[in-house]
Structure 1
């Protein structure tokens, strides 16, 4: 009730002051996030106890499994999504690809009945349902999750190959945003996650999201996944300290350039520095207008 009341009060204050309702968003998210953190703090406390009691070493590295999902089925996916899957398979040939959708995900994991019911009723958005799926498969099996619009350009030099090897040897990797000259990240991404099975941060975020959707029938913060992920990493600082330093900034450059005219030197410079590129299929109509653009280069 506190979450909904916070939102209503912020909207009313904006209306009374004649301000745009968008101005209420920062106030709502700040207060709502505080409520959510307090409400689901007990899950982290339980995880810390469990982590302290678990003395089993997990030094086997990330399993060579790539999880790929398009809920409607890969046959129904846009061309860009199919190109991204093909690029991942091309550059990770010795990995097992598990491509799942609404018709077959249950062969790997089973979500609580209330989650499936709320999703079918439209209460849980597709993106949030996908979040639960990615966490559930990683928590149980480990492996690498890449969003359906992640293009892989390969590991063309020793530096890129070394970075990939470190990811696969670490217990958890997510891409983060780093400002130039700073050590601490200023943001988190969830479009790429590599994890060992039963990883404590993955388990924490999954349990908090399951508890949230048991309590609520709507999404009160679009970035709730990032909220719980950041909270869990702060609670287990040694996990974050050991994570490879992968910067999301470099991985969004191709997505921003898809509509621009292709230049071989610029392309080579980009793929010499980064292997994974987060794209957006919703922009295809716009970026495909340039027949000599980067979009047509990667899909042809």
Structure 2
């Protein structure tokens, strides 16, 4: 049984003209081994990236810079469109932890106050209203405009960050897969935790490419479109990302993956939380163990930090 995200990816690849390649790679798709599916997706992703790169690299596009609407110092952006009171318990506990440790730096973004900070183009708002832009991708558009305009740190709602670790971070952060793990990986970066100063050239170029795409198109060509454009912008800027301080994007997933495998007691969870100052979690559980493990984790967050 294929999950919804895989089905959406397959449809996107077909609409992007990748059906002939998909048929050629069919044996990998049909193989039950997980590595075969990864090879299938990786090869299709690389083909799609080459198409996007050929079309957009060095392309002159409109500048979508907006005026600063308020004065903020080192903001920490945290978004739940329906409002934090409507968020899952994990998200609420994470928000409370950040609020306790960072106070007014933490800014909740929701559908009611978004316009207080940024003005998204009408074509984006209209396509969001028409469901041509999903909530997930809308968050990409919001984060890139917030960071381009104000700078600061974007934290996905299911990302935990240890307070002392956060305070020692460099001025620019993009979690990424480091060598040799990133060899052959066309998207070695993650966007669930980003830290940039305002008007950073990588973020501004990525924002302009992403907004230009939605001004011209009515559907998302790939789930990782933001990441493709960040890689393209980085290459235009002499491999900008390669010169940034190394922040690993693999270890933050360790606790989430362990909680899928077996029941963990409170002490085990606490010990595994020490492995990384960044911890990437999820609201979407897929195994029978996860709900109980997440309940224990949430109890830990009551007194964490």
After TM superposition, is the score higher than 0.5?
yes
Match of 1:64 among 49, 71, 74: 74
CA distance in 2, matches of 1:86, 1:185: 39
- C-alpha spacing 1:143/1:266, structure 2 compared with 1 (3 Å): same
* Secondary structure at 1:232 match in 2: helix
Provide Cα deviations, 1:252-275, integer angstroms capped at 9, x if missing partner. Answer: 11222346323537734642x422
What is aligned with 1:115?
124
CA distance in 1, matches of 2:294, 2:196: 39
CA distance in 1, matches of 2:269, 2:86: 33
1:73 aligns with 2:83: yes
Q: Quick check: 81-90 or 252-261, which moved more?
A: 252-261
- C-alpha spacing 1:182/1:11, structure 2 compared with 1 (3 Å): closer
Provide Cα deviations, 1:142-175, integer angstroms capped at 9, x if missing partner. Answer: 00000011113332xxxx47xx4342xx2x2111
1:88 aligns with 2:90: no
CA distance in 2, matches of 1:36, 1:183: 20
Q: Which runs of 5 or more structure 2 residues have no equivalent in the other structure?
A: 1-12, 32-36, 64-71
- C-alpha spacing 1:82/1:216, structure 2 compared with 1 (3 Å): same
* Secondary structure at 1:6 match in 2: coil
* Secondary structure at 1:42 match in 2: coil
The structure where strand makes up a greater share of residues is 1
> Contact 2:266–2:300 at 8 Å: present in 1 too?
no
> Contact 1:44–1:232 at 8 Å: present in 2 too?
no
Q: Quick check: 248-257 or 235-244, which moved more?
A: 235-244
* Secondary structure at 2:218 match in 1: coil
Deviation at 1:135, TM superposition (A): 0.5
Provide Cα deviations, 1:226-267, integer angstroms capped at 9, x if missing partner. Answer: 111122222224743542211112211122234632353773
What is aligned with 2:279?
277
1:134 aligns with 2:143: yes
* Secondary structure at 2:250 match in 1: helix
What is aligned with 1:188?
189
Q: Which runs of 5 or more structure 1 residues have no equivalent in the other structure?
A: 48-61
1:36 aligns with 2:52: yes
What is aligned with 2:174?
174
Aligned length: 272
What is aligned with 1:254?
255
> Contact 1:85–1:151 at 8 Å: present in 2 too?
no
What is aligned with 2:17?
6
CA distance in 1, matches of 2:250, 2:28: 37
- C-alpha spacing 1:90/1:185, structure 2 compared with 1 (3 Å): farther
CA distance in 2, matches of 1:211, 1:131: 14
Please report the TM-score for the alignment, with normalisation by the length of structure 1.
0.77
> Contact 1:177–1:247 at 8 Å: present in 2 too?
yes
- C-alpha spacing 1:255/1:24, structure 2 compared with 1 (3 Å): closer
